[in-house]
């Protein structure tokens, strides 16, 4: 079955540590996205990529970095510069318009 | 800048009690309005896309409608399994979606 796989489901980060969230899709979609969701809030765009080796900042890119070396993969690194990283992170992909397909999310907690 | 506002923030209904959720938007040229369902701890699940005023789409107990300024998600005779957060989004530019904050719907048996 085609879809998006995010891993891990739960992730714990110590102060000053970088962590990387994985996102893999087998839908052959060109565009991929990272969103952050905080309790009681909507989704906010962190980064997006419309094609391999190219990506753009979203509305809240500070403290995050991404890469897009393969069409199937769009990993997100939460750096130590992100002062409030505790949140639910969602990866999505999109083909030729229409609705996004979302992964099941990664819950990141600072310990 | 495109904006999306959903109301109410939370809604509690009895099983079988029909109601509507609202999504108001401001966008320079609508390229699509999207409804998603999200269960706790999971990713959003796509429900509908609407493109032009007057368009309607249905799926089981849900019907989405669109005007030039807002969209409604009508829920007819809901069941407890319809409990979830419902998200509305509009397309900004070629690919980006801008989301509202969601409506948390609870259906009591």
Quick: pLDDT tens for A4-61.
999 999 999 888 899 999 999 999 999 999 999 998 778 999 999 999 999 999 999 9
The answer to whether residue A60 neighbours chain B at the CB level (below 8 Å) is no
- B94 pLDDT higher than 70: no
DSSP reduced 3-state for B5: strand
- A1 pLDDT higher than 70: no
Residue B96: the pLDDT is: 81
Residue B39: the pLDDT is: 96
Quick: pLDDT tens for B36-83.
999 999 999 999 999 999 999 999 999 999 999 999 999 999 999 999
- List Cβ neighbours of B49 (8 Å cut-off, separation of 6 or more): A98, A99, B32, B33, B34, B57
The rounded distance, in Å, linking the Cα atoms of B52 and B33 is: 9
Facing A102 at nearest CB: one of B43, B95, B100: B43
Q: Which residue of B has its CA nearest to A50?
A: B95
Residue A29: the pLDDT is: 92
Instruction: List chain B residues with CB under 8 Å of A107.
Output: 41
Please tell me the distance in Å from A53's CA to the nearest CA on chain B. Answer: 17
Residue A16: the pLDDT is: 86
- B1 pLDDT higher than 70: no
Quick: pLDDT tens for A71-100.
999 999 999 888 899 999 999 998 776 779
- Between A12 and B28, name the one with better pLDDT: A12
- Measured CA distances, A88 to A38, B11, B60 (Å): 6, 23, 29
Residue B14: the pLDDT is: 97
User: What mean pLDDT, rounded, does chain B reach?
Assistant: 93
Is the bond into A54 cis (omega within 30 degrees of 0)? no
The rounded distance, in Å, linking the Cα atoms of B17 and B108 is: 10
The answer to whether residue B24 neighbours chain A at the CB level (below 8 Å) is no
Facing A104 at nearest CB: one of B42, B94, B98: B42
């Amino acid at each position: 079955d085609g879809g998006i796989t995010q891993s891990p489901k739960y992730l714990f980060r110590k102060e000053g540590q970088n962590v990387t969230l994985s996102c893999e899709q087998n839908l052959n979609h060109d565009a991929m996205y990272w969103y952050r969701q905080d309790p009681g809030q909507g989704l906010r765009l962190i980064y997006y990529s419309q094609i391999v080796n190219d990506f753009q900042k979203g509305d809240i890119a500070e403290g995050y970095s991404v890469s897009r070396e393969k069409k199937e993969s769009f990993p997100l690194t939460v750096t130590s510069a992100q002062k409030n990283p505790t949140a639910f992170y969602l990866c999505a992909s999109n083909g030729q318009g229409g609705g996004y397909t979302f992964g099941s999310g990664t819950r990141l907690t600072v310990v | 800048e495109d904006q999306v506002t959903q109301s109410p923030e939370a809604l509690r209904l009895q099983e079988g009690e029909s109601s509507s959720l609202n999504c108001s938007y401001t966008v320079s040229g609508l390229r699509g309005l999207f409804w998603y369902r999200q269960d706790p701890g999971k990713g959003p699940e796509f429900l509908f896309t609407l493109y032009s005023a007057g368009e309607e789409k249905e799926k089981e107990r849900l019907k989405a409608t669109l005007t030039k300024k807002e969209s409604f998600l009508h829920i007819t005779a809901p069941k407890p399994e319809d409990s979830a957060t419902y998200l509305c989004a509009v397309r900004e530019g070629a690919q980006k979606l801008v989301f509202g904050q969601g409506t948390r719907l609870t259906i009591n048996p």
